Structures are given as structure tokens and as C-alpha cells.
């Protein structure tokens, strides 16, 4: 029997069975719906578990947050302004933003995770928080009132980053600033790691791999500027900088990240892969000059025309 005859035989068998094809169709439909839902959920854990990881992450990104707001303050006086932290997570950016806009400024945190917001309300009692996403009216009203919309590590989690950015831009009021800070795993970072820690090169691609499994492009950062340009903003500033961490800090952050991804969805990061990643991390040396290059961070400052 040739391969084609075998295939034809099975096709005819299926054609003659009425129940199996409909069961198959039902199964495929259910599976694809589940897949779409899975893509819409955030990759990592929320609440208390997320706080420690996001606080570490904030610590090594504080410098570029302050730089971006300082850049805006060279154009307008940001003291007393309203800042909306969109996709605020556990609000770890809040203390720095508060000190930049002063006591008369207003900080509003928005996140579509109810768990995250409930956690934040207990953490920062004087802050105004809203649960929801950019498609909701209340959220849109708050976004439209902002002088500065701050978006960090949020675009990478969108299924349609261009639609997301277009929507935020269209909601912002004329003259408002949108500060976007997103990471990218680029080739230079890989070369840096390959030269210093060749056995750990696999870790450079973990985000790309996880993004792919979730149907997301975690390396969208370098496409943000060319895309925003098409929206014809009044001002568009783009800066990049590598985050290089002392090894103990990098290990703590990556260990938490890997464990959270695995705990949220083992089909995205399996037990076996988790063990392999942790093993690679444990072999990284911790000498004074040992640094881990985490990401190329993109800062895009947009002023709406």
C-alpha cells in the first residue's frame, strides 16, 4: 500500500462516520478558543508573589524611569501633573513617580488584574486605583485626563501591540506625553553572553521562546518607534540602554521569573526546562566583574500632537 492509498483509506473512513468529524470539529473549536483565552492572560503571577519580583525589576530600571521623566521635564514642568501608570502591576514605580511630580501631582494606577489592584490598595493606601483595560470607558476617561501616561513592561504582553498603542495614543489628550519602556532580547546581548558565559546562552532566548508559546511578540520593543511615527506625534524621542545586573541580583530576579511562569502555566515553562534554567543560573559565577546582561531597554517618549 502506498502512502496516498493509506491517507485516502482513512479519509473515506472518516467521511463515513458522522459523529467523529463533528466531535473533532468541536474539539478543535474548543481548543482554539482556550488558546485565545490563554494568550489574553498575563504570563506571570499577581499580588504578593509578583511584588518581590517587580520590586527587584523596578530597582534596576529606576534609573531609566527617572531619566525619561527628567527628559519630559526639560520640555514641560512636570510638578503637579497627573500621571497614569497603565498596567501598574504592584505599583513599584509609584514612589519614584510621586517624588518626580511632587505632593501636588496626581498618580493613578490602572491594571486589568483585580487581584493586583486589591493588593496595591493595601500597599499604598493614598493612591487612586482603577481596575480595567484600555477598552473600558472609565479607564478611557482617566487616560484622557492624564498629562503623562506611563507604560512599562505592558506592550510586550499585548496580543495586538499595534492596536494597543494606537488606542492609547488616540485616547490621550493633545499635548500629553506617553512614556513607554519595554525590553528586547537582541543579538548584541547574545554575543555579550556568548563571550562571557557560553554555557548560559540558552537563557538569552527564554523570553522569545515563551512569547512564541503564548502567541505574543515579546521583542516588539524595536518596532514601537517606527509604528508610533506613523501616528504623526508632535515629539518622538527614542533611547536604548542595556540593563546589566550584578550576578546575585540577576539570579534572584530570573529565579523568581522562571518559577512564576512555571507556576502560572507549566505548558509554557515545563518542570524539565525550569530545572535546566535553574541549573544554568546556579553555575553562573558571582565575582566582582560578573554581570548579567538582561535586556536592551527601549524608552520611547511620545508627545501627542
Ligand X SMILES: C[S@@+](CC[C@H](N)C(=O)[O-])C[C@H]1O[C@@H](n2cnc3c(N)ncnc32)[C@H](O)[C@@H]1O
92 binds ligand X (CB under 6 A): yes
178 binds ligand X (CB under 6 A): no
Residue nearest to ligand X (CB): 89
299 binds ligand X (CB under 6 A): no
DSSP 173: P
Place of cell 504582553: 157
152 binds ligand X (CB under 6 A): yes
- Nearer residue to ligand X within complex by CB, 65 or 284: 65
Could you say which of 89, 183, 211, 233 contacts ligand X (CB under 6 A)?
89
Q: How far is residue 174's CA from residue 144's CA, in Å, rounded to a whole number?
A: 9
For residue 242, report the phi and psi dihedrals to the nearest 5 degrees: -80, 140
Contacting range for ligand X; rule: CB under 6 A; set: 3-11, 109-117, 233-241, 278-286: 109-117
- Decide: helix, strand or coil at residue 110: strand
Please give the helix or strand (H or E) that residue 291 lies within, else none: strand 291-303
Least CB distance from residue 125 to ligand X, whole Å? Answer: 19
For the chain, what percentages of helix, strand and coil (3-state, to nearest 5) are there?
55, 15, 30
113 binds ligand X (CB under 6 A): yes
233 binds ligand X (CB under 6 A): no
> Are 253 and 284 spatial neighbours (Cβ–Cβ below 8 Å)?
no
Least CB distance from residue 91 to ligand X, whole Å? Answer: 8
Residue 192 grid coordinates: 555579550
For residue 136, report the phi and psi dihedrals to the nearest 5 degrees: -90, 145
- Nearer residue to ligand X within complex by CB, 178 or 284: 178
> Are 69 and 179 spatial neighbours (Cβ–Cβ below 8 Å)?
yes
Least CB distance from residue 87 to ligand X, whole Å? Answer: 3
153 binds ligand X (CB under 6 A): yes
303 binds ligand X (CB under 6 A): no
Residues in contact with ligand X by the rule CB under 6 A: 42, 54, 58, 87-89, 92-93, 110-113, 116, 133-134, 152-154, 157
Amino acid at each position: 500500500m502506498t502512502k496516498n492509498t493509506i491517507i485516502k483509506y482513512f479519509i473515506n473512513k472518516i467521511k463515513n462516520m458522522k459523529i467523529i468529524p463533528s466531535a473533532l470539529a468541536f474539539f478543535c473549536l474548543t481548543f482554539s478558543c482556550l488558546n485565545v483565552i490563554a494568550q489574553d492572560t498575563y504570563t506571570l503571577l499577581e499580588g504578593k508573589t509578583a511584588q518581590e519580583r517587580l520590586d527587584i525589576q523596578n530597582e534596576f530600571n529606576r534609573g531609566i524611569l527617572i531619566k525619561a521623566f527628567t527628559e519630559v521635564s526639560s520640555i514641560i514642568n512636570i510638578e503637579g501633573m497627573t500621571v497614569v501608570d497603565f498596567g501598574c502591576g504592584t505599583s513599584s514605580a509609584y514612589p519614584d513617580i510621586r517624588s518626580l511630580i511632587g505632593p501636588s501631582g496626581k498618580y493613578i494606577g490602572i491594571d486589568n488584574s483585580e487581584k493586583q489592584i486589591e493588593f496595591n490598595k493595601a500597599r499604598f493606601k493614598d493612591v487612586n486605583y482603577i481596575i480595567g483595560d484600555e477598552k473600558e470607558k472609565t479607564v478611557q476617561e482617566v487616560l484622557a485626563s492624564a498629562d503623562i501616561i506611563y507604560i512599562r513592561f505592558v506592550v510586550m504582553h499585548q496580543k495586538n501591540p499595534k492596536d494597543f498603542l494606537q488606542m492609547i495614543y488616540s485616547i490621550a489628550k493633545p499635548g500629553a506625553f506617553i512614556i513607554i519602556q519595554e525590553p528586547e532580547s537582541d543579538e548584541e546581548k547574545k554575543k555579550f553572553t556568548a563571550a562571557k558565559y557560553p554555557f548560559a546562552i540558552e537563557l538569552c532566548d527564554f523570553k522569545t521562546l515563551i512569547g512564541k508559546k503564548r502567541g505574543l511578540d515579546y521583542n516588539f520593543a524595536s518596532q514601537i518607534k517606527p509604528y508610533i511615527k506613523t501616528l504623526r506625534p508632535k515629539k518622538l524621542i527614542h533611547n536604548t540602554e542595556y540593563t546589566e545586573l550584578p550576578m546575585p541580583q540577576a539570579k534572584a530576579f530570573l529565579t523568581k521569573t522562571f518559577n512564576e511562569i512555571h507556576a502560572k502555566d507549566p505548558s509554557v515553562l515545563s518542570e524539565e526546562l525550569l530545572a535546566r534554567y535553574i541549573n544554568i543560573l546556579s553555575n553562573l559565577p558571582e565575582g566582582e566583574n560578573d554581570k548579567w546582561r538582561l535586556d536592551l531597554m527601549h524608552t520611547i517618549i511620545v508627545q501627542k500632537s
